């Protein structure tokens, strides 16, 4: 039996495209469902692009791998455009499958985190740098969308702990010795389980300082 591929550094195309598609749908929804502004087709598509590919852009730029991997074939961009089109057509229906979207988003978050950590380790960077790059890969797209929407990124506020989940995925990947595929699956699985716990008990990060009550 041939050895399993390392899904962190040799991600199967179908899995990579699912990851991009899920993030792109989330990004497109950030524009489509934004009642505070009237984003057009271009705006929704740009948000899909930043969420779907932005994390990979950040990872490859930090590691000096230019042009970014996602631009070296047409499939990632085609997937982003398809995801944006899907949201524009059936956008109102997508929030109704919130639990499924939450789990798929957890898989995408974990895969971005472990692939960033793996790429950093492959270049000889220390583990702590790998965690940083993995986390930036996982949440960087959302930060860029927040900048365009003129709002504070949710990872900086008391909210759902996406950044901590990305740190968890990258850390688990780097701590599991031996087979890198097992390590990658462990990192992604850790995020999925943690996301289920977060959703079940509505866990959010606490504010750094409690405001005094009057």
Q: Which residue has the tokens 């059936």?
A: 90
pLDDT tens figures, 196-209: 999 999 999 999 88
Which DSSP state fits 148?
H
Predicted local distance difference test score (pLDDT) of residue 213: 66
Which DSSP state fits 159?
S
pLDDT tier at 1, thresholds 50, 70, 90? very low
In a domain, 182, yes or no: yes
Its pTM stands at: 0.92
What is the C-alpha end-to-end distance of the chain, expressed in Å? 68
Predicted local distance difference test score (pLDDT) of residue 100: 78
Q: Judge whether residue 34 has pLDDT over 50.
A: yes
Outline where DSSP puts E strands in 136-190: none
Predicted local distance difference test score (pLDDT) of residue 52: 96
- Could you give the CA distance from residue 134 to residue 119 in angstroms, rounded to a whole number? 9
Q: Quick one: average pLDDT of 122-146?
A: 96
Residues 84 and 48: beta-carbon distance below 8 Å? yes
183: burial class by Cβ within 10 Å (0-12, 13-18, 19+)?
Answer: buried
pLDDT tier at 162, thresholds 50, 70, 90? very high
Predicted local distance difference test score (pLDDT) of residue 189: 96
In a domain, 112, yes or no: yes
In a domain, 4, yes or no: no
Predicted local distance difference test score (pLDDT) of residue 95: 67
In a domain, 65, yes or no: yes
Q: Quick one: average pLDDT of 36-53?
A: 95
Least confident of 7-11, 76-80, 117-121: 7-11
Q: Quick one: average pLDDT of 104-124?
A: 93
User: What tokens were used for 157?
Assistant: 């506020």
Predicted local distance difference test score (pLDDT) of residue 63: 95
Q: Residue 164, SS3?
A: helix
pLDDT tens figures, 58-101: 999 999 999 999 999 999 999 999 999 999 998 777 767 777 77
Q: Is the dihedral of CA 90, 91, 95, 99 positive or negative?
A: positive
Residues 106 and 98: beta-carbon distance below 8 Å? no
Q: Number of structural domains, the chain?
A: 1
- Could you give the CA distance from residue 30 to residue 67 in angstroms, rounded to a whole number? 27
Q: Residue 27, SS3?
A: helix
In a domain, 111, yes or no: yes
Q: Which residue has the tokens 């962190």?
A: 8
Query: Which carries the bigger pLDDT value, residue 15 or residue 152?
Result: 152
In a domain, 162, yes or no: yes
- Could you give the CA distance from residue 142 to residue 140 in angstroms, rounded to a whole number? 5
Q: What is the mean pLDDT of the chain?
A: 90
- Could you give the CA distance from residue 164 to residue 62 in angstroms, rounded to a whole number? 20
Range of the domain at 180: 13-201
In a domain, 102, yes or no: yes
In a domain, 210, yes or no: no
């Amino acid at each position: 039996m041939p050895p399993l591929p390392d899904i962190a550094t040799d991600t199967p195309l179908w899995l990579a495209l699912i990851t991009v598609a899920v993030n792109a749908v989330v990004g497109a929804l950030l524009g489509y469902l934004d009642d505070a502004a009237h984003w057009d087709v271009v705006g929704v598509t740009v948000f899909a692009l930043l969420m779907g590919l932005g994390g990979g852009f950040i990872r490859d730029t930090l590691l000096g791998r230019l042009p970014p991997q996602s631009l070296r074939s047409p499939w990632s961009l085609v997937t982003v455009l398809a995801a944006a089109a899907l949201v524009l057509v059936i956008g109102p229906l997508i929030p109704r499958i919130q639990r499924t979207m939450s789990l798929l988003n957890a898989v995408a978050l974990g895969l971005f985190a472990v692939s960033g950590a793996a790429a950093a380790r492959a270049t000889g960077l220390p583990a702590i740098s790998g965690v940083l790059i993995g986390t930036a890969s996982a949440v960087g797209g959302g930060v860029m969308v927040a900048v365009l929407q003129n709002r504070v990124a949710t990872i900086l506020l008391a909210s759902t702990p996406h950044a901590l989940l990305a740190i968890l995925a990258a850390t688990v990947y780097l701590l599991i010795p031996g087979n890198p595929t097992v390590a990658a699956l462990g990192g992604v699985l850790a995020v999925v389980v943690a996301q289920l716990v977060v959703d079940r008990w509505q866990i959010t990060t606490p504010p750094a300082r409690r405001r005094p009550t009057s």
